[in-house]
Amino acid sequence: MELTDPARKELASISSALLSWFYENHRDLPWRNDRTPYSTWISEAMLQQTRVTTVLDYYPRFLKRFPDPSSLAKASEDEVLKLWEGLGYYSRARNLKRGAEYICEHFGGELPSDPDLLIRIPGIGPYMQGAIASLAYDIAIPAVDGNCIRIYCRLHSLPLVASEQSTYKEIYQRVEEDLPKDAPGDFNEALMDLGSLICTPRSPKCEACPLHENCSAYLLGKQEDFPAKKEKKETPTEDHTILKIYVGNKIIVKKRPASGLLAGLYELVDIPGILTDSEVRAFLKEHFSGIDRDTDIRPIGKSRHVFSHLKWNMLGYEVHLPASFEKEAASLGDAVSPKKYESLAFASAIRAYR
């Protein structure tokens, strides 16, 4: 499509206004100060669905332990997950390790600059491909995320649902048309900052936005109507009883399956449903001989955790058994020493009972 002169001027004004704002107001973030393809990959993986303030603590620790793809590829999954503990969405950490192994096997331990090769790496999708290519290699390719979709839906008053694939394609094309060839990484980062700081999902700071004069939604006074809202389904809820069982000074733990929710992480004994004290005793009697009314079982409170698609309501108990029960504990998991226990990666969902 060939642009008319007015359209060219509008695109130029959007690009120049956004970049001018960014150069004056950009956030001082550690991954921007010493940018490499690898550090860009790590930071962008951490920043997916996670607040910047949270990532600030994890990013330097992760890079110190894994300064390059080779060190990450050689690490055990348990060690990678332990460093990731608390960030959530643990598939990101597993994908980083898988991606590092692929990079070492196919690209000599260095992330390639060719976007068509980047997209082949496990865990790197279109957004990550665009971010690494533009930010680290200065290649003119969009990096379209939720912030970008929200900005462009408002800018052009597009009643699109953010999560739909057709929306992604539409926004990608529009960003590609606006993308300055001489500063693609800065433009993509400017959109990231604008969406995080100004064009927020609720209560956007429109008067401070460098694009408000070009923004259709602002001119209509309907900023929060875009993107279009998708009808929310009620989030299902599960009840769990969590048992922190001591056998002597050891604690019973179990590693979750390699796929599915909280894959590969460790957990305490987890029983479906909310159990009473007497029901906990009945459960323990099924696994340990000699359980009686004098067995030390202490309630340790209620907790709740909200996943992206699921809610857990939990009730915890601490159980103290003699060391002689360790052999029977094998039916519930592994009895590990306090030192080993501290080295394991547990899901944030059960942090209240750690």
- What positions carry a catalytic annotation? 44
- DSSP β-ladder status, 250-255 and 296-306: unpaired
Chain mean position to CA 320: 36
> Which residues are 237's β-sheet partners?
311
Residues 127 and 41: beta-carbon distance below 8 Å: no
H or E, element range at 71: helix 69-74
Q: Which amino acid is at 14?
A: I
| b/e sequence 269-295, b meaning 16+ C-beta within 10 Å | bbbeeebeeeebbebbeebbeebeeeb
Residues 134 and 152: beta-carbon distance below 8 Å: no
Instruction: Spell out the alpha helix ranges (H) of 89-183.
Output: 91-106, 115-118, 126-137, 146-155, 165-178
Instruction: Spell out the alpha helix ranges (H) of 157-285.
Output: 165-178, 184-197, 216-220, 277-285
Tokens of 42: 């790590």
H or E, element range at 82: helix 77-84
Tell me the C-alpha distance between 164 and 145, whole Å: 12
| b/e sequence 51-65, b meaning 16+ C-beta within 10 Å | eeeebeebbeebbee
Residues in the chain: 354
Residues 240 and 313: beta-carbon distance below 8 Å: yes
